[in-house]
Amino acid sequence: MEQTLATPRLSKANRRVVLGQLSAWEVLQQELIAALRAAGRPVPPVPAAYDVPVPADQAHAWQLGARIQSTVLPQLGAWLANASDPAERALAAGQLQASARGIVAFGGTLPRWPGWSG
């Protein structure tokens, strides 16, 4: 997402959307680090999972934002399914919801989940 922020073609309103998404991910990262430390567990390093291309224009930036949000949904779903602590379940559910909203905010289509009809 940092590369998307560098795109000079984004309007102020669109930059706010992208900055909001980036901020949400940074908050989640800090919450997860705090939860691991509180549980006495090691905090793994946070390597980049992939290289994010520099978008050519606003349409490509929006597609990229939707794709990034879509890519993380399966991991968030697995996290929610495996969380036993109520606070952790609430955090996972909130992030899953925020990412789904992010897909829509970037103009993407929500993917079908395995086992869901429709």
pLDDT single digits (tens) 18-28: 777 777 777 88
- CA angle at 19 for the pair 102 and 21, rounded to the nearest 5°: 25
Over residues 82-108, the pLDDT tens digits come to 888 898 899 889 988 988 888 888 899
- Domain of residue 34, residue span: 2-44+51-105
Q: Per the structure block, which two tokens stand in for 29?
A: 């990262």
114 within domain boundaries: no
To the nearest whole percent, how much of the chain has pLDDT over 70?
Answer: 81
Q: Per the structure block, which two tokens stand in for 72?
A: 């993380």
Number of C-beta neighbours around residue 51 at 10 A: 7
Helices (H) and strands (E) in the chain, counts: 4, 0
For the entire predicted model, the pTM comes to 0.66
15 within domain boundaries: yes
What is the rounded CA–CA span in Å between residue 97 and residue 73?
9
- pLDDT, residue 52, reads 67
pLDDT band with cut points at 50, 70 and 90 for residue 3: very low
Looking at the structure of the chain, the number of domains it has is 1
- 12: domain CATH number is 1.20.1260.10
- pLDDT, residue 9, reads 65
Identity of the residue numbered 14: N
